[in-house]
Amino acid sequence: MTIEELKIKVEIALQEIRPYLEADGGNISLIDITNTTVKVQLEGACLGCSVNQMTLKNGVEATIKRHAPQIKSVIEVNGITF
């Protein structure tokens, strides 16, 4: 699978989880994919939310892995782009 195909799969996963984040005033953006790690940026209300790491692990990471099983981890980059 090419990196472009992988990005498409990850974006599909993010589109699936995005409505739940938007319902709470947040959002998420794909920043980069390096090897088996996806870097995302949480936005809006997600930034100050006390459960954002749980959302990232149980919601975002699980959804991405379902669409792209080769992904091993998802990290939040706190607004820093690479």
- So what's the pLDDT on residue 14? 96
- So what's the pLDDT on residue 42? 87
pLDDT one-digit tens code per residue, 23-75: 988 899 999 999 999 999 988 877 777 776 777 778 899 999 999 999 999 99
**pLDDT confidence band for 81 (50 / 70 / 90):** very low
Q: Which of 34, 78, 72 is nearest to 52 (CA)?
A: 78
Phi-psi region of 35 (alpha: psi -120 to 50; beta: other; left: phi over 0): left
pLDDT one-digit tens code per residue, 1-32: 898 999 999 999 999 999 988 998 889 999 99
Q: How far apart are CA 27 and CA 18, in angstroms?
A: 6
Contact 77, 20 (CB under 8 A): no
